[in-house]
Amino acid sequence: MPNIIDGKAISAEIRRELAEKTQVFKEKNGFAPGLAVIIVGEDPASKVYVRNKHRACEEIGFTSFGYELPENTTEEELIALVEKLNHDNRVHGILVQLPLPRHLDEEKVLLTIDPRKDVDAFHPYNVGKIMIGNYDFLPCTPAGVMELLRRSHISVEGKECVVVGRSNIVGKPQAMLLLQANGTVTICHSRTKDLKEVCRRADILVAAIGKPEFFDASYIKEGAVVIDVGMNRRPADGKLCGDVDYASVAPHTSYITPVPGGVGPMTIAMLMQNTFTAAAKMGAK
Ligand code: NDP
């Protein structure tokens, strides 16, 4: 039987630890870490994510600043707001909820965020620091995966790690973090030949392709650790599912993350962790 990695419980534990640290931080410094979250438009999924972020701030004891901008906000208006928040010393983390409406240039907006407040770690300055292994923040989802491994006492050192997916927010930074943890890392993508063969070599397989239940047992080495980053709707019933066909894969693994309740809850915990780090670096005594 596999060990099921309980991301919900681990995320709650991290948030509890952060709440304790925040209490001490506030007593010492006289202010709370502050996170500003900007959302543009009416995307229902984004609204849920933003609400969860405010709730997490409240629970931990951070100050949260919410900005709900209308769909027709101009790039100049959005950039002006980011610049204002860059100079607001109550704000230690700035997050612009993606995706932005089409008429707004995401890259340009993200580049405006002060790298010291870039708690998503999407700014090229922070991406570069991750590449050289000298970073302040890590992108939340891959950092969450590393934390799940660490807290489940799964060592990466010397292991064959296969990351499927090469996006800037998940696959690439995930591979870099596994490399920094001394894994032997292979990155796969849509042009990879013999994907199944490569996946079958993995001691640790990270699936991040956004294809519902794509990986069945034939992709898995017996006893592997399987981390499912995917968050998809299953076409048959519209329910949330991962990139891994859990029922077929789980019996062949030593550890596996479920969807929901695996990687998903970690992302927000790591965002809170980054905000705390930013506040500690910028303003703490
Ligand atoms: P992207 O669509 O940006 O990237 C998908 C990657 O998967 C690409 O590199 C693509 O290759 C590769 N890919 C697609 N199909 C295949 C295939 N058949 N075989 C091999 N590789 C393939 O997605 P994201 O990285 O943003 O997200 C991936 C998944 O993770 C999604 O389900 C998303 O919802 C989820 N996610 C979950 C989060 C969480 O908090 N748990 C946070 C962020 C994302 P190529 O580059 O060649 O096109």
Counted domains in the chain: 2
232 lines ligand 1 (CB under 6 A): yes
Report which ligand 1 atom has the smallest distance to the Cα of 170: 25
Q: Please give the pLDDT value at position 199.
A: 98
Q: 76 lies in a domain?
A: yes
Convert the pLDDT of each residue in 198-248 to its tens digit: 999 999 999 999 999 999 999 999 999 999 999 999 999 999 999 999 999
Are residues 107 and 202 both part of a single domain? no
Look at residue 20 and tell me if it is in a domain. no
The answer, yes or no, to whether any atom of ligand 1 lies below 6 A from the CB of 171, is yes
Q: Give domain status of residue 4, yes or no.
A: no
Position 73 in a domain: yes
Q: Are residues 166 and 234 in the same domain?
A: yes
53 is catalytic: yes
State the CB neighbour count (10 A cutoff) for residue 79.
17
**Domain membership flag for residue 18:** no
Q: Is residue 272 part of a domain?
A: no
Q: What does each C-alpha distance from 154 to 149, 150, 183 come to in angstroms?
A: 5, 6, 12
- Given a contact cutoff of 8 angstroms between Cβ atoms, the answer to whether 119 and 127 are in contact is no
Q: Is the pTM of this model over 0.85?
A: yes
Residue 285 has pLDDT above 70, yes or no: no
Q: Which pLDDT score is estimated for 283?
A: 74
* 155 and 217 together in one domain: yes
Q: Is 170 in the pocket of ligand 1 (CB under 6 A)?
A: yes
Centroid of ligand 1 to alpha carbon of 207 (angstroms)? 8
Which residue CA neighbors atom 39 of ligand 1 most closely?
264
Instruction: Tell how far the Cα of 202 is from the centroid of ligand 1, in angstroms.
Output: 18
DSSP 198-249: HHTT-SEEEE-S--TT-B-GGG--TTEEEEE---EE-TTT--EE-SB-HHHH
Local confidence band at 284 (pLDDT 50, 70, 90 cut-offs): low
| 197 occurs within a structural domain | yes
For atom 1 of ligand 1, which residue has the closest CA? Answer: 167
CATH of the domain at 260: 3.40.50.720
Q: What is the pLDDT of residues 186-195, one digit of tens each?
A: 999 999 999 9
Is 56 touching ligand 1 by the criterion CB < 6 Å?
no
Asked if 109 and 188 sit in the same domain, the reply is no
Which pLDDT does position 250 carry in this prediction? Answer: 98
Domain residues for 245? Answer: 140-264
Residue 27 confidence (pLDDT) above 70: yes
User: Is 120 one of the annotated active-site residues of the chain?
Assistant: yes
- Answer whether 227 contacts ligand 1 (Cβ < 6 A): no
| In a shared domain, residues 224 and 159 | yes
CATH number at residue 42: 3.40.50.10860
Same domain assignment for residues 243 and 178:
yes
Residues 201 and 154 in one domain: yes
- Give yes or no: residues 214 and 106 share one domain: no
The answer on 103 and 148 residing in a single domain is no
* Final residue in a domain of this structure, among 99, 114, 129: 114
State pLDDT tens for residues 131-168: 999 998 999 999 999 999 999 999 999 999 999 999 99
| 282 pLDDT tier (thresholds 50, 70, 90) | confident
pLDDT category of residue 38 using cuts at 50, 70 and 90: very high
The residue to mutate among 163, 229, 266, having the most atoms of ligand 1 within 8 angstroms of its beta carbon, is: 229
Same domain for 62 and 168, yes or no, is no
How far apart, in whole angstroms, are the C-alpha atoms of residue 64 and residue 29?
Answer: 17
Q: Are residue 150 and residue 88 in the same domain, yes or no?
A: no
Catalytic residue selected from 6, 53, 117, 159: 53
Distance between Cα 245 and ligand 1 center (Å):
16
Ligand 1 and 165: CB distance under 6 A: yes
Query: Who contacts 33 (Cβ-Cβ below 8 Å, separation ≥6)?
Result: 22, 25, 62, 63, 92, 93, 275, 276, 278, 279, 280
Has residue 133 been placed in a domain?
no
Name the residue of 187, 189, 233, 245 whose CB sits within 8 Å of the most ligand 1 atoms, as the mutation to test its pocket: 189
Residue 28 falls in the annotated catalytic set: no
Residue pair 170/264 in contact by the 8 Å Cβ criterion:
no
pLDDT recorded at residue 74: 98
Ligand 1 pocket, 258 CB below 6 A? no
184-188: strand order across its sheet: 3-4, 253-256, 224-228, 204-207, 160-164, 184-188
Both 203 and 257 in a single domain?
yes
ω into 44 cis (within 30 of 0): no
Q: What is the mean pLDDT of the chain?
A: 97
